[in-house]
């Protein structure tokens, strides 16, 4: 305090010396500081006599020291003061208080037990967790009582899952479980337990103390535990994948691989994968196994050149996919390499031989469809064009005046057709009206779209005035809700049909009787003259489908009725002769 002690000095002199010392040595000492110091000094002077026998702690801000004072008033009115420097004790006390406060605010529950298994201290989080599982924690609580409450609480939580409760208690009854848990905690160590009421995982760390007590710290490890479980699930899933998976570290040592990768390499190359093997070693082994396969190894390429050329392929890009064909096995593989954040590489490869063969078949099918003379258009379930062949493109470009393009809808296609018809019949409104059925554009489009929806599986014949051609269109619904449209040019057949109809109409009016039989001797056509003769002779109409046998038999029977046996033959021989 800057006080030079001497006999006979007054207490007020001591305070004045102390004031000057603090004022001169404390940086930034203000008038407010002075007022506080003087007020404290006066208060201390009064306390010395009023609070005789009590201990006081005085802080010296200049020296950052704590002084413990003890004043005793004597019978003669004099005063004896004993002062002791308690700076270290005070600082330790502050540190202890800070530690206690910190522990109390920790998110991890902490409990301290004495050597007789009684609870002597706990923090706020431990108290709250106790409430969550059914008890109010208090000092003096016995460990076995706490475990008893926990047992009953968890049993109620597992009421619908007896197997889970048996797993939790390891098959022990209540007293056995309490004894086992007490022994485990007192031994110390770390364990992880699941709390069903909180749906969380806790890591319990028990540390024995030198005095026989115990510190128990619980840490919420739910996130870490679930991440670990997810990782284990992922590892198990990867190991059971049909795709081969290989993981290389930043030095290209094989860090991990799954069962599919091991089996695939062994079966297709004869190479046995092993942890720690380098990428260069693998390429060397592959060269030794593949040396005679020209589809894999270029002619006259030596071992070192092959290794040099292939050892860094998996790191050329952050992510790359490569197609590989194994000529010896006639198998196709697709391999994807991805460089990881730690500079490792994960390689996933798949045997796509079956898919490749199907793709080749699809290509052949596409090429065949593209060579068809019929137009083929494929629409999805929203009536959007997703595929078409060359014939469809040609007809629409050259004949219909509408350019097919992927993504166009039925509505757009029908709209363009409507506009082309308007242009064609610009000078002939009546013909346009007849062609469009008198419909406006929106109605025409809606009508055409509806036809495609309602006439699936039915062949529809229509005339295209733009091309002056007849077409047959058949729509077939696909499993995914889309549909395929096949359009065939039947102009030639239609013209032949029309010519045939004209010929038939002409024959109908000939005076000479005519009938026509097919190769099975069934009546397929006859004209008016033949019908009239037959009705006059036999009194009934000719019917399509009658056989020549029936008709000749009727003629034979008619002559017999008139007393004449034709050619002197029996009925069967006569009919056979006529047919021949």
The mean per-residue pLDDT over the stretch 119-141 comes to 85
Arch. (CATH architecture) of 241-356: 2-Layer Sandwich (3.30)
CATH domain 106-227 topology: Beta-Lactamase (3.30.450)
The CA-based dihedral angle spanning residues 210, 214, 216, 217, taken in that order and rounded to the nearest 10 degrees: -20
Comparing 12-16, 68-72, 475-479, 549-553, which segment has the lowest mean pLDDT?
12-16
pLDDT at 268: 73
Q: Please, what sign has the CA dihedral across residues 309, 314, 320, 326?
A: positive
Contact of 569 with 577, CB cutoff 8 Å: yes
pLDDT at 467: 65
pLDDT at 154: 80
The mean per-residue pLDDT over the stretch 285-314 comes to 73
Q: Which two tokens stand for residue 332?
A: 């196709």
Mark residue 208 as left, alpha or beta (left: phi above 0; alpha: psi -120 to 50; beta: remaining): beta
**34-84 pLDDT tens trace:** 787 777 777 777 777 777 778 878 777 667 788 888 888 888 888 888 888
pLDDT at 409: 92
Q: Which two tokens stand for residue 503?
A: 């010929």
pLDDT at 466: 64
Find residue 193's DSSP bridge partners.
Answer: 202
**374-431 pLDDT tens trace:** 888 898 989 999 888 888 888 777 766 678 888 999 899 888 888 888 888 888 888 8
CATH 3.30.450.20, applies to 372-490: yes
Q: CATH 3.30.450.20 in the chain, residues?
A: 106-227, 241-356, 372-490
Mark residue 16 as left, alpha or beta (left: phi above 0; alpha: psi -120 to 50; beta: remaining): alpha
Q: Please, what sign has the CA dihedral across residues 555, 560, 562, 563?
A: positive
Computed over every residue of the chain, the mean pLDDT equals: 83
Q: How much is the pTM?
A: 0.37
**104-122 pLDDT tens trace:** 777 788 888 899 999 888 8
pLDDT band with cut points at 50, 70 and 90 for residue 142: very high
- Other C-beta atoms closer than 10 Å to the C-beta of 39 total 10
pLDDT at 299: 61
The mean per-residue pLDDT over the stretch 327-333 comes to 76
pLDDT at 260: 85
Q: Is the pLDDT score of 341 beyond 70?
A: yes
The mean per-residue pLDDT over the stretch 450-477 comes to 80
Radius of gyration of the chain from its Cα atoms, rounded to whole angstroms: 53
pLDDT at 90: 84
pLDDT at 48: 74
- By DSSP bridging, strand 214-220 and strand 200-208 are antiparallel
User: Measured between alpha carbons, how far is 124 from 547 in angstroms, rounded to an integer?
Assistant: 108
The mean per-residue pLDDT over the stretch 311-327 comes to 83
pLDDT at 33: 77
Q: Is the pLDDT score of 295 beyond 60?
A: no
pLDDT band with cut points at 50, 70 and 90 for residue 525: confident
**43 Cα distance to chain centroid:** 75
**479-491 pLDDT tens trace:** 888 888 888 888 8
pLDDT at 384: 92
Nearest CA among 418, 398, 396, 419 for reference residue 406: 396
Residue predicted with more confidence, 441 or 498: 441
pLDDT band with cut points at 50, 70 and 90 for residue 198: low
Contact of 123 with 104, CB cutoff 8 Å: yes
Nearest CA among 192, 239, 19, 212 for reference residue 112: 212
Q: Is the pLDDT score of 136 beyond 60?
A: yes
pLDDT at 328: 66
């Amino acid at each position: 305090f800057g006080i030079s002690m001497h006999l006979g000095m007054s207490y007020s002199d001591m305070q004045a010396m102390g004031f000057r010392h603090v004022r001169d040595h404390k940086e930034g000492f203000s008038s407010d500081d002075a007022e506080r110091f003087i007020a404290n000094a006066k208060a201390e002077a009064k306390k010395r006599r009023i609070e005789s026998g009590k201990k006081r702690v005085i802080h010296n801000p200049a020296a950052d020291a704590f002084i413990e004072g003890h004043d005793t008033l004597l019978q003669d009115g004099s005063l004896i003061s004993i002062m002791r420097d308690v700076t270290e004790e005070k600082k330790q006390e502050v540190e202890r208080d800070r530690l206690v406060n910190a522990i109390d605010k920790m998110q991890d529950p902490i409990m301290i037990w004495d050597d007789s298994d009684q609870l002597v201290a706990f923090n706020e989080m431990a108290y709250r967790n106790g409430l969550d599982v059914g008890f109010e924690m208090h000092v003096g609580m016995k460990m076995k009582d706490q475990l008893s409450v926990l047992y009953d609480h968890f049993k109620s939580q597992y009421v619908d899952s007896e197997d889970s409760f048996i797993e939790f208690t390891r098959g022990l009854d209540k007293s056995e479980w309490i004894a086992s848990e007490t022994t485990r905690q007192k031994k110390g160590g770390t364990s992880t337990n699941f709390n069903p009421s909180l749906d969380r995982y806790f890591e319990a760390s028990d540390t024995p103390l030198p005095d026989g007590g115990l510190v128990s710290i619980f840490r919420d490890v739910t996130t870490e535990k679930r991440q670990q479980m997810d990782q284990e699930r992922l590892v198990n899933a990867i190991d059971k994948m049909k795709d081969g998976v290989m993981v290389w570290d930043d030095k290209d040592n094989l860090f991990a691989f799954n069962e599919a990768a091991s089996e695939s390499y062994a079966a297709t190359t004869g190479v046995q994968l092993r942890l720690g093997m380098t990428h260069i070693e693998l390429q060397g082994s592959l060269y030794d196994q593949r040396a005679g396969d020209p589809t894999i190894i270029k002619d006259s390429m030596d071992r070192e050149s092959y290794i040099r050329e292939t050892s860094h392929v998996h790191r050329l890009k952050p992510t790359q996919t490569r197609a590989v064909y194994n000529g010896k096995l006639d198998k196709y593989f697709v391999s994807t390499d991805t460089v990881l954040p730690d500079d490792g590489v994960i390689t996933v490869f798949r045997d796509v031989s079956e898919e490749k063969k199907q793709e080749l078949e699809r290509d052949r099918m596409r090429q065949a469809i593209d060579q068809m003379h019929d137009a083929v258009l494929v629409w999805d379930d929203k009536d959007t064009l997703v595929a078409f062949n060359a014939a469809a493109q040609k007809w629409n470009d050259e004949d219909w005046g509408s350019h097919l393009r992927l993504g166009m809808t039925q509505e757009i296609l029908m709209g363009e057709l409507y506009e082309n018809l308007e242009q064609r019949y610009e000078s002939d409104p009546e013909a346009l009206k007849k062609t469009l059925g008198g419909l406006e554009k929106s109605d025409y489009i809606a009508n055409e779209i509806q036809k495609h929806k309602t006439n699936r599986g039915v062949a529809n014949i229509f005339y295209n005035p733009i091309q002056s051609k007849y077409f047959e269109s058949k729509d077939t619904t696909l499993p995914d809700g889309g549909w395929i449209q096949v359009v065939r040019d039947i102009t030639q057949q239609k013209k032949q049909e029309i010519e045939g109809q004209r010929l038939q109409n002409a024959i109908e009016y000939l005076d000479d009787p005519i009938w026509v039989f097919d190769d099975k001797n069934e009546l397929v056509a006859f004209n008016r003259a033949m019908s009239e003769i037959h009705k006059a002779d036999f009194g009934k109409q000719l019917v399509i489908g009658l056989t020549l046998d029936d008709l000749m038999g009727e003629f034979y029977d008619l002559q017999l009725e008139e007393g004449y046996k034709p050619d002197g033959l029996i009925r069967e021989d006569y009919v056979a002769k006529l047919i021949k």
